[in-house]
Structure 1
Amino acid sequence: MIGVGVAMLAMPGAAVAQLLDPRSQPEAASGYGRHKLATANRHMVSAANARAAEAGREMLRQGGSAIDAAIATQLVLNIVEPQSSGIGGGAFILYWDKAKASLQVYDGRETAPASAQPDRFMKDGKPMPFGEAVRSGLSIGVPGIVRLLEEIHRQHGKLAWAKLFEPAIRLAEEGFEVSPRLNLLLHLEGADSFVPAARRYFFTEDGAPVAVGHLLKNPEFAKTLRAIAAGGSEAFYSGEIAQAIVDAVASAPTAAGGMTLEDLSNYQVKQRAPLCITYRAYEVCGVGAPSSGGIAVAQTLKLIEPFTLGDSPDVALGAPAVHLIAEAQKLAFADRNRYIGDPEFVHVPEGMLDEAYLAERRKLIDPKSAADRPPAGKPPGSERQSFGVDATVERAGTSHISIIDADGNALSMTTTIEGAFGSHNWAAGFLLNNELTDFSLRPVDADGQPAANAVGPGKRPRSSMSPTIVFDAQRNVEAVLGSPGGSRIILYVLKTLIAMIDWRMDAQQAADLLNFGSQGHALELEVGWRAVPLALALRPFGHAILPSLMTSGVHIVGQRNGQLDGAADIRREGAALGD
């Protein structure tokens, strides 16, 4: 008889959604679109909403850089995809300056206020209920994205700062038609989960979500954008907007968050070194701590590199290859969960990509049998600090933008307010993040050892965001990609990289490919009939199969044969647009 897990794989996504842990997929599936591989010759932007991609392309057409396009795209996403990202949140940017042959990482991750202590989410000796923590002021970190956008524009922008705000201001004032996805997500969240100001914006008086096709306007946000366009980031981090944020955090349901005007004015963007490895004939680059994404992706790729996974689209998703990938992911997640935190507060072991260490870890991969949850290893440098067992719950919101401009500069930007609609708190026309619930809610484990990702004043919570740029042997950009999805971002990016590099798929084929992977124990498979043959083929390996919606949002811009190729994930409402 077919197992319960395999039967669930064949169920419609909406039915499965009722059976799964709601924390794993707060940004639920909203059906599948149809996207063809996009092509262009000069420039291209791929983002999670067509209106946002159009704004980015508008800047590119006016002679703007990839940075200019990213800023315009992000600001429009705040309006049309408010559940995923916006100026109330943060982002990581990986940027390739072709003329200087320079790869840079910009960290605009949110920070905990100065008042935050390790027991921030503890209540009567236990972690607060997760939903209660999310909607409280305790979950809201100091937003980083406005200062991040200003900093990258100062270094790499070509168009005037205020011009980049024009598409978003126009859309906020004139309105946009509510999409089926936004309507569905509002329906799933419910009016009562939002503070009154957000409820009035997203719902009717009787609590119904704004209807599909409704022209939704946000004059309050237009006012905020005009202030930032005229006054730069200082208009956000001080004055009227900053006070609105502080007031919202103080009056949030359940518990106040203790954020101050000083917390906002002190926020700083960090420039960090990129994290690069060789895989097959390519150089794969990402971002390091406080994001765990680049390290986990790199560890997994290096662990599987000696194995043969197949070399054509015809053999993609072969059970032996999926098994090997999942076993490597288990090992990478074990290290990620134990060791990664804000590098300014904890020592992240420098030997997590040491070849000898990975060779020892690779011996734990049995090509024929699935392992139970493996423990973390002891990479070189781990002896310098003792780490406890982590208790972080990471929600699957977020968005991703990929761009290549006419000068060959490339940008990979993963941007977030954390879970769907962030903390559900509202200030000056935008939603505030719930990023601090990305910390371990329990600061120490059962043995009293502190978690690397425990809360701390001024600390940045661990992330899974994995903006990635792939180079060929001559260091030409091969692909720019990333995805939303909480801790599953790592799985989605790995699937896409392996599909493009090993299985030689084009960008759209790779984005559309069935999602799968393991975060340490079960092998997660995207629901639907196309997963059933793989689930059955994996049974001899002994995997526990976990059916899941796995709503990725992979957005890719690549270069092949002198042409730009772009893809937008069929699971969302995005587009890849270029000229």
Structure 2
Amino acid sequence: MACPSAGHAAGQAAQISRSGGFDTPCRRAAAALLLLLLLLLIPATARAQRQMVAAAHPLAAEAGMAMLRAGGTAIDAAIATQVMLGLVEPQSSGLGGGALALYWDAATRHLSAWDGREVAPAAAPPTLFLKDGQPMAFLAAAIGGRAVGVPGAMRMLEALHKAQGRLPWAALFAPAIAAAENGVPVTPRLAALIAQDAAHLAQDREARALFLPDGKPLPAGATLRNPAYAATLRAIAEQGAEALHRGPIAAEIAAAIRAHANPGLMTTDDLAGYAPKQREALCGPYRGVTVCGFPPPSSGGATVLQILGILAHQSLAGLDPRGLDAAHLLGEAGRIAFADRNRYLADADQVPVPLRGLLDPTYLLLRAQLLDRDHALAAPRAGNPPWQDGAALASQPPQPEGGTSHVSIVDAEGNALAMTSTIEDLFGARLMVRGFFLNNELTDFSFLPEIEGRPVANRVGPGKRPRSSMSPTIVFGADGLPMLLLGSAGGSRIIGHVAQTLVALLDWGLEPQAAVSLPRIGALNAGLELEAGTGAAALAPGLEARGFPVELRTMTSGLHVIRILRGAEGVRLQGGADPRREGVALGD
């Protein structure tokens, strides 16, 4: 059957995007055409002189800007932005999940890393995701109570606010409360995802009533009102994060998890006992600047730094950002770094992680020597970094990761925040309580606790934080001041999205909007993925000829970048938001 003309296909693609159906070759072609049209209509880099918010939805960015205009700090803006995201982008992050944030305090010139990652309940065994000795299917594990980790986002944000917030806590919730009560329009992206996941959402009473009224998915343009979410936000505004972790809401969370047909083990004691952690950022050199990311339990900071450490031994500046050689180097450095990630990285509070060895310049030089500019490695293997302390480990097999949303903020005083938040899979555990979804974050643990008698570092454990791929990143110039803030959505693909964007900004000199709009190219474990429907797809034959295992796929990255420029005329800000989603960069 012939596919429709390009003009008709564009219209069909828009309709398909709203409905969420991509189940025929023609519809897939139409979706690819829609992506191509979006990338051709790339907006200009946003510009400002004082302050800026880049986030995944215009209403969220506007909520953050309202706090900055009221004299708030980047932290005040981040809280207002995040709670609005929980309303307008409920499939990605929210009160029921976790977050990781890097914060630069301009007054003290100090960078801190704030860990609001979810934790496993105290009763969680290493065999949590085994059934009859075999790993469960992903969705069988993810949907319901089994995979829900103790949420940490709000306690982390509250700790940040106590340390560096300026506006009253309750004021930060006002925009989201008003929007939840008055209603917000359902975007085409949200409508498509509701339709795509309707069968799972229908199994939860609260989610069904909110997103499938009259049994039909909310269409684009419909008004979404969430009074239960407004009531929860009002409770947090009045009582602080304790409203989620103790009392009636906490009791309802624990009851919903334990009563589900796929029950979990969380108790109200687990919720009450959650505490965020302040950590040291993980930093390394690249091209004369310092790149800082998040340490374990995230694998993002270390793996991005490994990719850059390998690429530092290659000349990239003269390469075509969309060309074969650039894709080869990005892909091979990523594949080598992922091999180490899958063996060594986990919650360093509970497992010895050889971070010093993984980022040692001599070790990275040895890893870089594996890279051949003409041929791909057949199967990259984990290296043997120095300063290891612990039992020999097995590499974790690949398994799905998803979800997340990223926010980058600079305020008028020069404070800067890069924060990535998540509930893991699409709509998390599909378990809704008081207007928000609970996460399924425990599926970020390895389903197999050991392989051939050797333990997996990222196995389930009581009170353990599952390994993350979230990669909030701040880059510092030679003057010691921040020059770039970025991060992305995309599960384990976040690492490749961030690494490619850093190369685009630092090696190729692209402006933020051009960098986030590049066709996505990145390693995922031992494979190399190219973004379908873009010029990257045309590189597949050449890369396959060099030995790469290549897959074409939709790459819904969610990059949000702010560049800080300093000169005789003062500070200038440039912002970019990923055109694959609905985000914006706003500034004054």
Shorter-chain TM-score range: over 0.9
Q: 1:548 aligns with which of 553, 561, 580?
A: 553
Contact kept in structure 2, 1:67 and 1:157, CA below 8 Å: yes
Amino acid at match of 2:572: Q
Indicate the SS of the match to 1:205. helix
Q: Which runs of 4+ in 1 moved over 6 A?
A: 12-16
In structure 2, relative to structure 1, the CA distance for the partners of 1:16 and 1:197 (3 Å cut) is: closer
Q: Distance in 1 between matches of 2:431 and 2:341?
A: 30
Contact kept in structure 1, 2:441 and 2:466, CA below 8 Å: yes
In structure 2, relative to structure 1, the CA distance for the partners of 1:558 and 1:571 (3 Å cut) is: same
In structure 2, relative to structure 1, the CA distance for the partners of 1:311 and 1:163 (3 Å cut) is: farther
Other-structure match for 2:217: 209
Pairwise CA distance, 1:247: 1.2
Amino acid at match of 1:47: A
Amino acid at match of 1:578: G
Other-structure match for 1:304: 311
Amino acid at match of 1:276: C
Other-structure match for 1:125: 133
In structure 2, relative to structure 1, the CA distance for the partners of 1:239 and 1:126 (3 Å cut) is: same
Q: 2:581 aligns with which of 549, 558, 572?
A: 572
Contact kept in structure 2, 1:135 and 1:252, CA below 8 Å: no
Listed as ranges, the matches of 1:226-375 within 5 Å are 226-253=234-261, 255-311=262-318, 315-349=320-354, 350-375=356-381
TM-score normalised according to structure 1 size? 0.93
Contact kept in structure 2, 1:555 and 1:568, CA below 8 Å: yes
Contact kept in structure 2, 1:414 and 1:466, CA below 8 Å: yes
* RMSD, aligned α-carbons: 1.9
Q: Distance in 2 between matches of 1:298 and 1:442?
A: 27
Contact kept in structure 1, 2:330 and 2:521, CA below 8 Å: no
Listed as ranges, the matches of 1:158-557 within 5 Å are 158-193=166-201, 194-206=203-215, 208-253=216-261, 255-311=262-318, 315-349=320-354, 350-391=356-397, 393-445=399-451, 447-557=452-562
Other-structure match for 1:136: 144
Contact kept in structure 2, 1:111 and 1:143, CA below 8 Å: yes
Other-structure match for 2:106: 98
Contact kept in structure 2, 1:67 and 1:156, CA below 8 Å: yes
Give CA-to-partner distance per residue, 1:46-66, whole Å, 9 cap, x none. Answer: 000000000000000000000
Amino acid at match of 2:280: A
Indicate the SS of the match to 2:154. helix
In structure 2, relative to structure 1, the CA distance for the partners of 1:317 and 1:69 (3 Å cut) is: same
Indicate the SS of the match to 1:171. helix
Give CA-to-partner distance per residue, 1:267-324, whole Å, 9 cap, x none. Answer: 0101111011110021110011010000000001011102111247xx2133122212
Contact kept in structure 1, 2:130 and 2:447, CA below 8 Å: yes
Give CA-to-partner distance per residue, 1:487-506, whole Å, 9 cap, x none. Answer: 00000001100000001100
Other-structure match for 2:83: 75
Q: Distance in 1 between matches of 2:461 and 2:79?
A: 30
Contact kept in structure 1, 2:519 and 2:534, CA below 8 Å: no
Contact kept in structure 2, 1:77 and 1:85, CA below 8 Å: yes
Give CA-to-partner distance per residue, 1:330-374, whole Å, 9 cap, x none. Answer: 111011000111111100013111111112222211111011221
Amino acid at match of 2:189: R
Contact kept in structure 1, 2:96 and 2:437, CA below 8 Å: yes
User: Which gives a bigger RCO, structure 1 or 2 (Cα 8 Å, sep 6+)?
Assistant: 1
Q: Distance in 1 between matches of 2:171 and 2:459?
A: 40
Other-structure match for 1:4: none
In structure 2, relative to structure 1, the CA distance for the partners of 1:195 and 1:16 (3 Å cut) is: closer
Q: Distance in 2 between matches of 1:389 and 1:264?
A: 31
Q: Distance in 1 between matches of 2:538 and 2:155?
A: 48
Q: Which consecutive unaligned segments of at least 5 residues does structure 2 have?
A: 1-12, 26-31
Amino acid at match of 2:309: K
Number of residue pairs matched? Answer: 556
Q: Distance in 2 between matches of 1:34 and 1:568?
A: 10
Q: Distance in 2 between matches of 1:16 and 1:548?
A: 16
TM-score normalised according to structure 2 size? 0.92
Pairwise CA distance, 1:128: 1.2
Q: Distance in 1 between matches of 2:24 and 2:478?
A: 46
Pairwise CA distance, 1:392: 5.1
Q: Distance in 1 between matches of 2:257 and 2:43?
A: 40
Amino acid at match of 1:86: G
Indicate the SS of the match to 2:112. strand
Amino acid at match of 2:455: P
Amino acid at match of 2:147: S
Contact kept in structure 1, 2:46 and 2:586, CA below 8 Å: yes
Pairwise CA distance, 1:195: 1.0
Amino acid at match of 2:495: I
Indicate the SS of the match to 1:453. coil
Give CA-to-partner distance per residue, 1:398-437, whole Å, 9 cap, x none. Answer: 1000000000011000000001100000111110000000
Contact kept in structure 2, 1:286 and 1:468, CA below 8 Å: yes
Pairwise CA distance, 1:118: 0.2
Other-structure match for 1:23: none
Pairwise CA distance, 1:521: 2.4
Amino acid at match of 1:261: T
Further displaced range: 383-392 or 562-571: 383-392
Pairwise CA distance, 1:326: 1.2
Contact kept in structure 2, 1:535 and 1:545, CA below 8 Å: yes
Indicate the SS of the match to 2:264. coil
Contact kept in structure 1, 2:232 and 2:434, CA below 8 Å: yes
Contact kept in structure 2, 1:311 and 1:504, CA below 8 Å: no
Contact kept in structure 2, 1:392 and 1:438, CA below 8 Å: no
Contact kept in structure 2, 1:249 and 1:258, CA below 8 Å: yes
Contact kept in structure 2, 1:40 and 1:565, CA below 8 Å: yes
Q: Distance in 1 between matches of 2:398 and 2:231?
A: 37
In structure 2, relative to structure 1, the CA distance for the partners of 1:30 and 1:344 (3 Å cut) is: farther
Q: Distance in 1 between matches of 2:22 and 2:555?
A: 10
Q: Distance in 1 between matches of 2:181 and 2:249?
A: 18
Indicate the SS of the match to 1:384. coil
Contact kept in structure 1, 2:398 and 2:525, CA below 8 Å: no
Indicate the SS of the match to 1:382. coil
Q: Which consecutive unaligned segments of at least 5 residues does structure 1 have?
A: 1-11, 21-27
Further displaced range: 321-330 or 346-355: 321-330
Q: Distance in 2 between matches of 1:541 and 1:191?
A: 42
Further displaced range: 317-326 or 397-406: 317-326
Pairwise CA distance, 1:389: 2.4
